[in-house]
Amino acid sequence: MTETATMLTGPLGLGHEMMARGCGRLFERSGWRVRQLDSMSLLGPWRGGVGERLFKGLVAVPGLYDGLHFAHLRTGSRLADRIDRASNARLVPALRSELERHPADLLFSVFATGASAAGKLKAEMPGLRSVVLCTDVSVHRIWAAEGTDLFLVTSTAAEASVRRYLPRAAVAVVPPPVRPEFYAAPPQQQARKAFGVSADAFCVLVIDSGWGFGPLLGAVSEMADAGLHVLAVAGRDRKIERGLRQLAAGRPRITPFGFTDRVPELMAAADVIVALPGAVTCAEARVVGRHLLLLDVMPGHGRDNLQHELELGEAGACVPTPGGVTASALALRDQAVGPLPSRVPPWEPAYLAALRRIGLDLQSWKEPSAHVAHAIPESAVV
């Protein structure tokens, strides 16, 4: 009988979706059936929409969300417990109904509210296995749900933060999941030809990963005026996409994009990538072999993640203003920052080894040839 994995994701930013896609492929290549559920949509169209707008409103006021994250979610205060209970009061019955209609052997959560609900259902369904993947450096209380069979985290600090709440938890430290397309990214000059970027230009890729944070439009304009070629990706934000296209009119140094699946090529064309310190985007850039310039504009867990990415190296931070981004990008140009050898091994073996700990042996999985093709540093094939 074909086994089924239900991926519990969320609508906030693109990182959760990319993690679910990458891990879903891992199961699909082993013959599993994979479903993806939006945890917030299970609350219903009204409550899910209100919850999403509330979160985005909190995050838009950095001091407010910083206070919630550092004083409550990270410490596991009574307010955090109340938030968790209120969410689960609606989410657990909705998820239970989904599983009755579409039974699953595994709940794989990449979103905190989904992780919490999955842990609660374990008490009712002992045969159901629950795995949580969190790429934040500090795993807050709602992520750390009792009943979870395995926590997958991407740093030793995150491992310790899970055990802060659940001292006996099964935790495995793994790399962030990166889709095969990034391991197969083309050489820089090949990618530049595809986007009309001259061979001798200093090229910056600016990515908005779905949050709409940071001085994207102003920074793109100022960097182009300073002589840099800017590839600018607005993601799913139509307003930012329209702004980018208006900026690009008559300015050949700006190449705008909305939501695109060509991010591996865009990273390959660039010398530097300006982005938020999301673990998946940063891991993708390191697979392609590009220096990161990170914006300190994501409050709460974003502050923790920034420090971790800086510690990993091949990354810098900039003042989150158009002038600050431009000054940092020009400094990297003057330092002749360019393609780096990709030193990121395939991530799947670490996940397979961790899953075996809870009796999931994905024996039919085969390593994609793309990993082997990208094992040669780009500097050797450009």
Distance of CA 10 to the CA centre of its chain: 12
Q: Burial code of 324-356, b = ≥16 C-beta within 10 A, e = fewer? A: bbbebbbebbeeebbbbebebebbbebbbebbe
- Match domain 180-334 to its CATH number in 3.40.190.150, 3.40.50.970, 3.40.50.2000, 3.40.250.10: 3.40.50.2000
* Residue matched to tokens 């899970």: 162
Position 380 scores a pLDDT of 27
pLDDT at 360 over 50: yes
Taking residues 128-142, report their average pLDDT.
93
Tell me which amino acid residue 247 is: L
Position 53 scores a pLDDT of 67
Q: Which long-range contacts (CB under 8 A, 24 or more apart) does 339-342 make?
A: 339/188, 339/271, 339/289, 339/290, 339/378, 339/379, 339/382, 340/289, 340/290, 340/291, 340/314, 340/379, 341/289, 341/377, 341/378, 341/379, 342/183, 342/286, 342/287, 342/288, 342/289, 342/374, 342/377, 342/378
Position 46 scores a pLDDT of 53
Position 371 scores a pLDDT of 44
pTM score of the predicted model:
0.87
Q: How far is CA 349 from CA 94, 158, 258, 352, in A?
A: 34, 20, 33, 5
The neighbouring-strand residues paired with 173 are: 153
Give the DSSP per-residue string, 197-218.
--TTS-EEEEE--SS--S-HHH
Which tokens is 356 given?
A: 């075996």
Domain 4-178+345-373 has CATH 3.40.50.12160: no
**Contact predicate 87/111, CB 8 Å:** no
Position 56 scores a pLDDT of 67
Tell me which amino acid residue 90 is: R
d(CA 23, CA 40): 20
Position 273 scores a pLDDT of 97
Position 38 scores a pLDDT of 87
* Nearest residue to 135 via CA among 16, 264, 287, 288: 16
**Contact predicate 243/221, CB 8 Å:** no
Which tokens is 364 given?
A: 């039919």
Q: How far is CA 217 from CA 121, 323, 336, in A?
A: 45, 12, 25
Taking residues 357-376, report their average pLDDT.
59
Give the DSSP per-residue string, 318-350.
E-SSHHHHHHHHHHHHHTT----------SHHH
Residue span(s) of the chain under CATH 3.40.50.2000 come to 4-178+345-373, 180-334
DSSP 73: I
d(CA 95, CA 103): 11
pLDDT at 184 over 70: yes
Count the Cβ atoms, other than its own, within 10 Å of residue 275: 23
